[in-house]
A and B are shown apart, each in its own frame.
Chain A
């Protein structure tokens, strides 16, 4: 009895820069990533990546009603490294903020 409806639409911002594949250097989980800026990241996981992630498997439920896995630090590091290496695009085009005191290199 499903009424046919249009499929969920892709994020309009992907027109300016698509998700890119990143492999975790710790567990080899493969995810899709988009870095909008050095401080902004979106990550699309798939079932196999969730299964492979060591931190995910080791994670405890945590406390509170909304206890959930907040994210993988090893994967976050792999993503950052990929961006620093230049194998992952950073949409903002800003240079890597190496010196937080504000002195451009």
Chain B
């Protein structure tokens, strides 16, 4: 007989001791192209990001192999980063190119360089604990709007999260109910598909009149709902193809939600928005900023929860919850050697949630919130 009266205990496995294999976005490429070296703490290490005369963005281990000087405090000279300690010159390929006071560069003068990719005005770095180069088939898909004139530029947010492991944010992709409680959205359709290195979420929703009241004056478009297709391409980079439906037409936008680990208990969370400059949209830049500010509130609430929550590897789920276990099974592929990736981590899995009961409860809660506000 199973003991239904028994207290359920939270179990937590040891956190991974390595960092996920995959492309990680470090931010807007232009922010690293100001002629200065940039210090980035990632994957439990210190890195230096720099761009020389050739315009290429390079990522190296921050510490000079000579006497340990921190290259991020150095100077860019030509295509190389010069160490502030003794002016040793390091190229983007990790090789020491020159030592101005030496007759020749010693053998083995090579430091760790990280594969980089610049795409859609974003800078990506490849992390692989096994040290292999990035395979072609895991590159993020191109986001067409990011480089088009009829879309806005990225509105970009960066925030450091201390005291949480980045699995917490990845869990979001399956967590339908938290979108209502934490992000003030109202999902009416929710489906996940995991396959290969991608984890996709289809979501449709309606506006929350209690959380985000609509403009009531005439001539202002009314939001009817939204359709979102969001997918993680690898362990850390999510592209959300997000369409808002207004009574005078659709507004197309793309939301990026990405992160890179600093340590096993901290990470950098970044999100960015671009909006299509539709004819019926008076100020797309303003729209992108407003979206960003709204999304920021949701993430800030996420962060508050992550910082105080327990790591839980045996979550107790109800039928109306998403596929948390299967998502984590998928996510595990990035934390083991390529040879140890099993079929069950990558095989296609579909999960569609019945939203009937959640929607009933949420409609009642929204109505109660509106009523409470009206009477106060």
Binding site for B on A (CB under 8 A): 1-3, 5-6, 8-13, 36-47, 50, 64-71, 91-92
Q: Mark B310-333, 1 if CB is under 8 A from A, else 0.
A: 000111110100011110110010
What separation, in Å, do the CA atoms of A36 and B130 have in the docked complex? 40
Say yes or no: is B335 at the interface (Cβ < 8 Å to chain A): yes
Would A43 and B314 be within 8 Å (CB), given that A1-B337, A8-B325, A65-B254 are in contact?
no
Q: What total of chain B residues lie within 8 Å of the partner, measured CB to CB?
A: 54
Interface residues in B333-362 (C-beta closer than 8 Å to A): 335-337, 340, 343-345, 347-356
Question: What residue of chain A has the Cβ atom nearest to residue B232's Cβ?
Answer: A66
B373, chain A: closest CB distance, angstroms: 31
Contact A13 B319 (CB under 8 A): yes
Would A65 and B142 be within 8 Å (CB), given that A9-B325, A70-B193 are in contact?
yes
What chain B residues lie within 8 Å of A36 (beta carbons)? 319, 354
B17, chain A: closest CB distance, angstroms: 5
B272, chain A: closest CB distance, angstroms: 13
Contact A65 B241 (CB under 8 A): yes
Would A68 and B340 be within 8 Å (CB), given that A8-B329, A41-B352 are in contact?
no
Contact B332 A8 (CB under 8 A): yes
What chain B residues lie within 8 Å of A10 (beta carbons)? 325
Q: Which of B335, B344, B345 interacts with A5 by CB under 8 Å?
A: B335
Contact B230 A92 (CB under 8 A): no
Question: What residue of chain A has the Cβ atom nearest to residue B240's Cβ?
Answer: A66
Question: What residue of chain B has the Cβ atom nearest to residue A67's Cβ?
Answer: B141
Prevailing SS type, chain B contact patch: mixed
Say yes or no: is B137 at the interface (Cβ < 8 Å to chain A): no
Given contacts A37-B354, A64-B229, A68-B198, 19 further A-B pairs with CB under 8 A are A1-B337, A3-B16, A5-B332, A8-B325, A8-B328, A9-B325, A9-B328, A11-B326, A12-B314, A40-B319, A44-B348, A45-B347, A50-B347, A65-B140, A65-B142, A65-B144, A66-B241, A69-B193, A71-B350
Contact A13 B317 (CB under 8 A): yes
Would A2 and B325 be within 8 Å (CB), given that A8-B345, A39-B354, A70-B202 are in contact?
no
A-B pairs with lowest CB-CB distance, top 8: A40-B354, A8-B329, A45-B348, A39-B354, A66-B231, A11-B325, A65-B141, A43-B350
What separation, in Å, do the CA atoms of A37 and B358 have in the docked complex? 13
What chain A residues lie within 8 Å of B340 (beta carbons)? 2
What chain B residues lie within 8 Å of A37 (beta carbons)? 319, 354, 356
Binding site for A on B (CB under 8 A): 13-14, 16-18, 129-130, 140-144, 191, 193, 195, 198, 200, 202, 229-231, 239, 241, 254, 313-317, 319, 323-326, 328-329, 332, 335-337, 340, 343-345, 347-356
What chain A residues lie within 8 Å of B335 (beta carbons)? 5
What separation, in Å, do the CA atoms of A70 and B351 have in the docked complex? 11
What separation, in Å, do the CA atoms of A42 and B230 have in the docked complex? 19
Contact A42 B323 (CB under 8 A): yes
What separation, in Å, do the CA atoms of A70 and B192 have in the docked complex? 9
Contact A5 B13 (CB under 8 A): yes
Contact A45 B314 (CB under 8 A): no
Contact B349 A44 (CB under 8 A): yes
Interchain Cβ contacts under 8 Å between A and B, 29 examples: A3-B18, A5-B335, A5-B336, A6-B13, A8-B328, A8-B329, A8-B345, A9-B314, A11-B326, A12-B325, A36-B354, A37-B356, A38-B354, A41-B350, A42-B350, A42-B351, A42-B352, A44-B349, A45-B348, A65-B142, A65-B143, A65-B144, A65-B231, A65-B241, A66-B231, A67-B141, A68-B200, A70-B191, A91-B319
